[in-house]
Amino acid sequence: MEIDLNEVMIGDLHLHSKYSRATSIYLSFENLVKWAKIKGINLLGTGDFTHPIWFEEIKKLENNGKGIYFFDGFPFVITGEISFIYTQETYNKSRLDSDSHHHSPTNSRLHSTTIARETPNVKSLAHPSDREFTESKRSLERKGRRVHLNVLVPNVEVAEKINSYLDTKGRRDYDGRPIFKISCEEFVREMKNIDDKIEIIPAHIWTPWFSMFGSKSGFDSFKECFGEMSEKVYAIETGMSSDPEMNWRIGELHNKSIVSFSDSHSFWPFRLGREATIFKKFDSYDELVRQIRKNDFIGTIETDPAYGKYHYDGHRNCSFSCSFEKTKKLNGLCPKCGKPLVIGVDYRVEELATNKIGFRPQCAKPFFKLLPLHEIIVLASGGRLESNSTWNIYNDLISKFENEFNILLKVSKPEFFNKNVDDKLVELILKNREGKIYVKPGYDGEYGVAELGEKQATLV
């Protein structure tokens, strides 16, 4: 896919402020803008609008009257990630079904259907038959759910209403990504009651521990997660451990837009914009939301999903990882310690897939599979990600070719050679552009490893 970078807006709408846990203390609008321009990003989310101190900074931004806010002329949209941790009661068909798949490490949830929630005023999704109710003592389970949602907000006034609602449910001041005991369905309903323009996007939907389809605490279907409000959720975020091709295999997602954002906890260019969405140019929040809801943006930028920390199954403490095929042969147990493996994204996709590998729906958008430029420099030089030598090469490239996305996506081989760029680095940049750098998959919290011959580099 060829794109004119001057005619699009590359947006990263999922990131955090310094008030979220495990983030850079130097995260500020000034640093975000500086490094977004170096990266080649044209639009950022503010992140963390729910945090009182950060929200005061957001309110200082210049507003164009159309839901776009500016710091030093650079555009932002009000965004924030919220964590929902709650318990719900599920009806487990597998306990009544003699044909249930006992080999599956997550099979106790594969056939569950929600029948009640711990949060009030949320209706059932399905009603078991009378016979099934007679088995309720052994077929009802309480399931812990942990899901992250990214929220896009049309303006400061609506953000204030959301914060007022959240204040009735708990505290917002202790973390930029606060936790609430609210079901996903109830939250969407309440947001739509406030303003239908609020956009709710399930974040990094396959991550084992905190996501919609996660093996540890997620759901087995979109409908199970959002219930009656499913039609009011228009998009999903791939996350680092999956890409659009993997999500195309899930038939239930074919009417949802597939977007990508970085979930960055710092402003450095090897974090910020490592995943992003390419939009048609716009100057209003309404147009942004229209493109998302109508699947009318241009495409996405993805890291190789194998770089994600949970792509494969495995045990970090045992230094063991394997594919989903091997996990099935092992009955989900680690061959070293005998305990259950942490089931990764690749397994979960295979588990829930309704389409074969290679299936491409009509609604599919093109995407670029790219490693950040820092990683390519490390592969070429054998250095470290944040060493002075790596930064010197990076800064030299930026001075010659304007920004990172221009380098990764557009600069030609003759143009590189005309500027005396190292031959090996040029070849790696071009291989990266074609998605031809092999990645040894990450697992159980360990990032994947990019490999090139005998040279290796780890995404940290």
CATH number (domain holding residue 151): 3.20.20.140
316, part of any domain: no
The answer on 302 and 178 residing in a single domain is: yes
The answer on 157 and 23 residing in a single domain is: yes
What percentage of the chain exceeds 70 in pLDDT? 87
The answer on 149 and 135 residing in a single domain is: no
**Long-range contacts from 352-361, C-beta under 8 angstroms, 24+ separation:** 352/213, 352/220, 352/221, 352/250, 353/249, 353/250, 354/249, 354/250, 354/251, 354/252, 355/248, 355/249, 355/250, 355/251, 356/249, 357/249, 358/245, 359/248, 359/249, 360/245, 360/248, 361/248, 361/254
339, part of any domain: no
Range of the domain at 215: 5-83+145-307
pLDDT digits (tens, 9 = 90+) for 347-406: 999 999 999 999 999 999 999 999 999 999 999 999 999 999 999 999 999 999 999 999
Q: What is the pLDDT of residue 214?
A: 95
- Which residue is listed with tokens 């580099």? 457
Q: What is the pLDDT of residue 459?
A: 40
Distance CA 228, CA 189 (A): 9
Q: What is the pLDDT of residue 217?
A: 84
149, part of any domain: yes
The pTM (predicted TM-score) of the whole model is: 0.89
334, part of any domain: no
CB contact at 8 A, 155 and 77? no
Q: What is the pLDDT of residue 105?
A: 62
Using the 3D structure, point to which of 251, 279, 307 is the last residue of a domain: 307
109, part of any domain: yes
The answer on 190 and 288 residing in a single domain is: yes
196, part of any domain: yes
**Domain count along the chain:** 3
Using the 3D structure, point to which of 286, 307, 328 is the last residue of a domain: 307
The answer on 260 and 129 residing in a single domain is: no
The answer on 264 and 179 residing in a single domain is: yes
Ranges in the chain, pLDDT < 70: 91-140, 453-460
The answer on 292 and 163 residing in a single domain is: yes
The answer on 195 and 59 residing in a single domain is: yes
The answer on 30 and 117 residing in a single domain is: no
The answer on 116 and 54 residing in a single domain is: no
Handedness of CA 212, 443, 262, 416 (dihedral sign): negative
Distance CA 82, CA 75 (A): 22
The answer on 128 and 166 residing in a single domain is: no
The answer on 397 and 282 residing in a single domain is: no
Q: What is the pLDDT of residue 447?
A: 87
183, part of any domain: yes
365, part of any domain: no
